[in-house]
A and B are shown apart, each in its own frame.
Chain A
Amino acid sequence: MPADFISSLFVFILAAFLGFELIKRVSPLLHTPLMSLTNALDAIVVVAAIIIAGQHETKLSTALGLIAVAASFSNMVGGFLITDRMLHMFKTGKKKKS
């Protein structure tokens, strides 16, 4: 088995465990923003897309890469934007309206 795979698996398992622990603590109140935030974080795929599009290996890989750049970057921008908007709406009843 390639060493790269083992080290990736190692990181994956640690990250998944950490994810379970962190997400269990998120209040159900915020489950919708949680989903849009993780979606925005997941859009980090854009860095891989930038490389495949920018290294210009073949016409096909460049074209697919560019579509991937646009798709994931739209998730990044849109995901953070909507999460931010949603969280602004959550106010307590203690009369401190912004």
Chain B
Amino acid sequence: MSPDQILMLIDFTYIAATVGFILSLKWLSSPVTAMRGVLIGEIASASAVVATLFDARVTEHKWVIIALIIGAGVGVPLGLVKMTAVPQRTALSHAFGALSAALVGISEYYVAAPNVGKFQMAEIGLEVVIGSLTVTGSLIAAGKLQEIKWIPQRPITYKGQNYVSLAVLASAVILILALVLHPEDTFLFPIMVGVALVFGVMLVTPIGGADMPTVISLLNSYAGFSASLLGFVLQSKVLVVAGALDGASGFILSVIMCKAMNRSFANVLFGAFGQVQAAAAGTKEDRVVKSASAEDAANILAAASRVVIVPGYGMAVAQAQHKVRELYDILSKKGVDVRFGIHPVAGRMPGHMNVLLAEADIPYDRLLEMDAINGDLPQTDVALVIGANDVTNPAARSDQSSPIYGMPIIDVDKARTVMVIKRSMAAGFAGIDNPLYYLDHTLMLFGDAKNFVSDIVREIGGSGH
């Protein structure tokens, strides 16, 4: 084949790969066709990689192959992590994706510098800044999720923080402009990269665990858009499309997460949720809490005909999902209708609870979204809350002074009996008081989620004989 024909073949492979990406996302819409979606995505990606190796511009194959092997060597273990580690793995992969896009942009710059056109400089600058801030932002997010000791878990905030952050971001933008106007000042480029890296750290450190679903989605969208911008720089349409799809996906997920918390983007990024509370709490110290034993809980559950389990991050922390499956099995065997109510922001990333429960072999048609389950709660005998707090707080519906007022919640308080498995009465994220715990028909089950569920399972099993 002549070089021209090869080039054409490569271009057609890229077009076919683009079609594959689109089909891949289309088929992901339902669990029935999703596997097919992954397969076509794999074929599309693999053929694009192979085609690129035949590109005439690639003259040195040895090192490229070695880098691919190293990449695969890193990728396989990251693909085999436990399901509980999926949030931090995802954050880490946003960092890798953005790193790759940023490094290619940086290389492009240094190959051309200082003869970079104004327009191209603006594209490269924007691409590298977004890519770089996503790298450090995602690494901090991954570190928080992995609970690495020297990365603070709690949101780190200080007075005037937002102004400092905005000033750093503004200086990155000014540096891009300076490079566009004076491309010969190449020394500004590494400074711009450095400023973007610092901004990424500043963007994520003030954000707490409960906001992680939004932040991960937002970083997802930045990683996608930086790849898309790289496509602009390199005039590679396959990158433009793949990046735009990824960016759009992250963006939609961020919007869903924000809506599920009744908050705006600005509020998540600059809000520091924790500072507005405290007003609502206090003064009500005489309220009584009813607690119950595993035996009581087992009797109530075994006598119920409809049960809704509402899991939260606490279930993941306690690794209780497999015990929850045993509870599901034993109750189902007794003829109890058991379903799960999943709040969009339960856990640390979008869909986190679904994956954990699916891993524990709970059929996915038992996992219902908030809107689908809420209508059924008034006809539910028992709502069992495991490790969830704010997403069940009825103050979000009624108490205008509550910081979470307006947030959509799972209406567990409407069930005939509510049982809440909780370590202690300590308040949840941001210390917001939960009036659910003081209701007449609420029973608190104090203890570790895993042990408590396993005690309930044992009691039900024992009384059955």
Contacts and interface: CB of A to CB of B under 8 A. Distances in A.
A22 B104 CA distance: 29
B164 interface: no
Interface string B32-74: 0011011001100100110111010111110110111011111
A58 to B, nearest CB: 6
B147 interface: no
Size class of A's contact patch?
35 or more
A8 B22 CA distance: 17
Interface of B: 14, 17, 21-22, 24-26, 28-31, 34-35, 37-38, 41-42, 45, 48-49, 51-53, 55, 57-61, 63-64, 66-68, 70-81, 83, 86, 89-90, 93-94, 96-97, 99-101, 103-104, 106-108, 110-111, 117, 119, 123, 216-217, 220, 223-224, 227-228, 230-232, 234-250, 252-253, 256, 342, 344, 349-352, 354-355, 358-359, 361, 363-367, 369
Contacts of B359: 89
A37 B103 contact: no
A76 B45 contact: yes
Kindly list the 5 A-B residue pairs having the minimum CB-CB distance in the complex, ordered from nearest: A81-B79, A73-B71, A19-B248, A54-B58, A31-B351
Contacts, number: 369
B30 to A, nearest CB: 6
Contact of A87 (B35, B67, B78, B239): B35
B75 A73 contact: yes
A61 B93 CA distance: 23
Given A50-B55, A61-B111, 14 more contacts: A15-B240, A20-B248, A26-B25, A28-B351, A29-B31, A35-B349, A42-B224, A44-B227, A44-B242, A49-B100, A54-B64, A71-B71, A80-B42, A92-B363
Contacts of A71: 71, 96-97, 99-100, 103
Nearest to B34: A87
Contacts of A81: 75-76, 79-80
B365 A92 contact: yes
Contact of A37 (B28, B74, B349): B28
A19 B94 CA distance: 18
Given A28-B350, A42-B97, A47-B238, A35 B253 contact: yes
B365 A93 contact: yes
Interface in A51-78: 51-58, 60-62, 64-78
Given A5-B232, A45-B100, A87-B38, A54 B248 contact: no
B429 to A, nearest CB: 21
